[in-house]
Amino acid sequence: MLSLIKVGVIGIGNMGTSHAQKLYNGEVKGATLTAVCDINEERLNWAREHVPEGVAYFDNDTSFLNEADMDAVLIATPHYHHPDMAIRSFEKGLHVLVEKPAGVYTKDVRQMNVAAQKSGKVFSLMYNQRTNPLYQKLRELVQSGELGEIMRTNWIITDWFRSQSYYDSGGWRATWAGEGGGVLLNQSPHQLDLWQWTTDMMPTRVHGFCSFGKYHDIEVEDDVTAFVEYENGATGVFITTTGEAPGTNRFEVTGDKGKIVIENNQLTFHQLRTPVSEFNKTSTTGFGKPECWTIDIPVSGETTEHLGIMQNWIDAIVKGTPLLAPGEEGIRGLELSNAMYLSAWLDEPIDLPIDEDVFYEKLQEHIKQSTYVKDETKSGTTFDLDGTY
Amino acid sequence: MLSLIKVGVIGIGNMGTSHAQKLYNGEVKGATLTAVCDINEERLNWAREHVPEGVAYFDNDTSFLNEADMDAVLIATPHYHHPDMAIRSFEKGLHVLVEKPAGVYTKDVRQMNVAAQKSGKVFSLMYNQRTNPLYQKLRELVQSGELGEIMRTNWIITDWFRSQSYYDSGGWRATWAGEGGGVLLNQSPHQLDLWQWTTDMMPTRVHGFCSFGKYHDIEVEDDVTAFVEYENGATGVFITTTGEAPGTNRFEVTGDKGKIVIENNQLTFHQLRTPVSEFNKTSTTGFGKPECWTIDIPVSGETTEHLGIMQNWIDAIVKGTPLLAPGEEGIRGLELSNAMYLSAWLDEPIDLPIDEDVFYEKLQEHIKQSTYVKDETKSGTTFDLDGTY
Query: Would you say residue B259 has pLDDT above 60?
Result: yes
Is residue A207 classed as helix, strand or coil in its secondary structure?
strand
Summarised one tens digit per residue, pLDDT across range B200-215 is: 999 999 999 999 999 9
CA-CA distance, A79 to A11, in Å (whole number)? Answer: 10
Q: Is the dihedral of CA A179, A184, A188, A194 positive or negative?
A: negative
Q: Provide, as residue numbers in chain A, all residues whose Cβ is less than 8 Å from the Cβ of B13.
A: none
Answer yes or no: is the ipTM higher than 0.90.
Answer: yes
Quote the pLDDT of residue B116.
Answer: 98
Contact A90, A121 (CB under 8 A): yes
- Residue of chain A whose Cα is closest to the Cα of B208: A227
d(CA A385, CA B234): 30
Q: What residues 325-384 of chain A have any CB closer than 8 A to a CB of chain B?
A: 381, 383
User: How far apart (Å, rounded) are the C-alpha atoms in residues B161 and A291?
Assistant: 12
Question: Residue A286 and residue B169: Cβ atoms within 8 Å?
Answer: yes
- List of residues 6+ apart from B264 with CB closer than 8 A: none
Average pLDDT score over chain B? 95
Whole-number pLDDT of residue A371? 85
Average pLDDT, integer, range B266-291: 96
Pick from B99, B69, B78, B81: nearest CA to B7: B69
pLDDT in tens, B110-127: 999 999 999 999 999 999
Q: Which of B54, B70, B52 is nearest to B10 (CA)?
A: B70
The DSSP bridge pattern shows strands A31-37 and A5-10 to be: parallel
Beta partners for A125? A98
CA–CA distance, B8 with B70 (Å, rounded to integer): 6
Confidence (pLDDT) at B271: 98
> Does A353 sit behind a cis peptide bond, omega within 30 degrees of 0 on the bond before it?
yes
Q: Which pLDDT tens digit goes with each residue over B365-377? A: 999 999 887 555 5
Bond from prior residue into A52 cis (ω within 30 degrees of 0): no
Which of B157, B158, B210, B289 is best to mutate for the A interface (most A CBs within 10 A)?
B289
Q: How distant is the Cα of B101 from the closest Cα of chain A, in angstroms?
A: 19
β partners of residue A239: A156, A225
Q: b/e for A68-95, b at 16 or more Cβ within 10 A?
A: bebbbbbbbbbbbbbbbbbbbbbeeebb
pLDDT at position B389 over 50: no
Considering only CB atoms, B154 lies closest to which of A156, A261, A279, namely: A156
The answer to whether residue A21 scores a pLDDT higher than 70 is yes
Question: Which region among A34-38, A324-328, B119-123, B296-300 has the lowest average model confidence (pLDDT)?
Answer: B296-300
Q: Is A270 an interface residue toward B (CB < 8 Å)?
A: yes
Are B245 and A292 in contact by the 8 Å Cβ rule? The answer is: yes
Distance CA B108, CA B111 (A): 5
Contacting residues of B for A166, CB less than 8 Å apart:
286-287
Residues ≥6 apart with Cβ < 8 Å to B82: B75, B98, B99, B101, B102, B103, B109, B112
Q: How many CA atoms lie within 13 A of B227 on its CB side?
A: 18
Q: How far is CA B286 from the centre of its chain?
A: 45
Cα angle for residues B237, B238, B239 (degrees, 5° grid): 115
Q: What Å distances lie between residue A31 and A8, A99, A129, CA to CA?
A: 10, 18, 22
Identify all chain A residues contacting B166, using CB atoms and an 8 Å cutoff. Answer: 286-287
pLDDT at residue B172 in the model: 87
Phi-psi label, residue B176: left if phi above 0, alpha if psi -120 to 50, beta otherwise: alpha
Overall average pLDDT of the A237-245 stretch: 98
Distance CA B59, CA B65 (A): 11
Kindly give, in sequence order, each residue whose CB lies less than 8 Å from that of residue A326, ignoring residues fewer than 6 positions away.
Answer: A123, A124, A125
Residue closest to A223 by CA, chosen among A260, A187, A173: A187
Q: What is the mean pLDDT of residues B181-189?
A: 97
CA dihedral B327, B328, B329, B330 (to 10 degrees): 60
pLDDT of residue A387: 42
Place B388 in a pLDDT band, splitting at 50, 70 and 90.
Answer: very low
**Of B249, B271, B129, nearest in space to B198 by CA:** B129
| pLDDT band at A374; cut points 50, 70, 90 | low
Rounded Cα distance between A176 and A173, Å, is 9
| B170 interface with A at CB cutoff 8 Å | no
Residues 6+ apart with CB under 8 A from A199: A139, A142, A150, A153, A253
The DSSP H or E segment spanning B103 is: none
Q: How confident is the model at residue A170 (pLDDT cuts 50, 70, 90)?
A: confident
DSSP collapsed to 3 states, A56-123: EEECCHHHHHHHCCCCEEEECCCHHHHHHHHHHHHHCCCEEEECCCCCCCHHHHHHHHHHHHHHCCCE
A285/B254 Cβ within 8 A? no
pTM above 0.80, yes or no: yes
Helix (H, G, I), strand (E, B) or coil at A170: coil
C-alpha distance across the termini of chain A, in Å: 36
Residue numbers of B between 14 and 43 with CB closer than 8 Å to A = none
B58-87 mean pLDDT: 97
Name the E strands within B287-364. Answer: 292-296, 350-351
Is residue B384 pLDDT above 80, yes or no?
Answer: no
Whether A384 shows a pLDDT value over 70: the answer reads no
pLDDT digits (tens, 9 = 90+) for B142-183: 999 999 999 999 999 999 999 999 999 888 899 999 999 999
Long-range pairs of A1-5 with CB within 8 A, sequence gap ≥ 24: A2/A30, A2/A318, A4/A30, A4/A31, A4/A32, A5/A30, A5/A31, A5/A32, A5/A71, A5/A72, A5/A95, A5/A314, A5/A317, A5/A318
| Residue B152 near chain A (CB below 8 Å) | yes
Shortest alpha-carbon distance between residue A366 and chain B (Å):
23
Chain A residue with minimal CA distance to B161? Answer: A289
pLDDT of residue A61 exceeding 70, the answer is yes
Using the predicted structure, report yes or no on whether residue A264 has a pLDDT greater than 70: yes
- How many CB atoms lie under 10 A from the CB of residue B325? 25
B187: nearest Cα among B158, B208, B211, B163: B158
Short-list B160, B170, B11, B162, CA closest to B79: B11
Q: What are phi and psi of B301, to 5 degrees?
A: 105, 165
A196-220, pLDDT tens digit by residue?
A: 999 999 999 999 999 999 999 999 9
Cβ contact, residue pair B165, A285, below 8 Å: yes
Alpha-carbon Rg for chain A, nearest whole angstrom, is 22
Contact criterion met (CB < 8 Å) for B254 and A215: no
Contact B146, B139 (CB under 8 A): no
H or E, element range at A190 = helix A189-199
CA dihedral A179, A184, A185, A189 (to 10 degrees): 170
Instruction: Judge whether residue A377 has pLDDT over 60.
Output: no
Rg (CA), chain B: 22
Least CB–CB distance from B246: residue in A152, A229, A292: A292
> Is A215 within 8 Å of A123 (Cβ atoms)?
no
Full DSSP string of A2-65: PPPEEEEEE--SHHHHHHHHHHHTT-STTEEEEEEE-S-HHHHHHHHHHSPTT-EEESSHHHHH
Task: Closest CB to B215: pick one of A215, A280, A292.
Answer: A280
- pLDDT per position as a tens digit, B218-230: 999 999 999 999 9
List the single best residue of A150, A206, A225, A228 to mutate versus B (max B Cβ within 10 A).
Answer: A225
pLDDT tens for each residue of A303-351: 999 999 999 999 999 999 999 999 999 999 999 999 999 999 999 999 9
Does residue A388 surpass a pLDDT of 60? no
Give the per-residue pLDDT at A172.
87
Over residues A358-385, the mean pLDDT reads 77
State the count of interchain CB pairs (< 8 A) between A and B. 162
Nearest to B17 by CA among B388, B387, B385: B385
Q: Give A236-257 as a DSSP string.
A: EEEEEESS-SS--EEEEEEETT
pLDDT of residue A316: 98
**Rounded (5°) CA angle A322-A252-A274:** 95
Q: What is the pLDDT of residue B383?
A: 58
Q: Per the omega criterion (within 30 degrees of 0), is the bond before B326 cis?
A: no
Pairing of strands B150-157, B205-212: unpaired
Looking at residues B103-108, what average pLDDT do you find? 96
Task: Work out the average pLDDT over A112-133.
Answer: 98
Residues 6+ apart with CB under 8 A from A365: none
Nearest by CB to B244, from A162, A169, A276: name it.
Answer: A276
Sign of CA dihedral B372, B373, B377, B378: negative
pLDDT of residue B378: 53
Q: Minimal Cα distance from A168: which residue of B?
A: B286
Q: Which residue has the higher pLDDT, B287 or B152?
A: B152
At a CB cut-off of 8 Å and minimum separation 6, what does B304 contact? B131, B311
Q: Is A50 or B379 the better-scoring residue by pLDDT? A: A50
Taking residues B261-266, what's their average pLDDT?
Answer: 96
Per-residue confidence (pLDDT) for residue A372, from 0 to 100:
81
Q: Please name which of B289, B187, B137, B287 lies closest in space to residue A173, comparing C-alpha atoms.
A: B287
Strand order in the sheet with B5-10: B56-58, B31-37, B5-10, B72-75, B95-98, B123-125
Rounded Cα gap, residues A262 and B19, in angstroms: 41
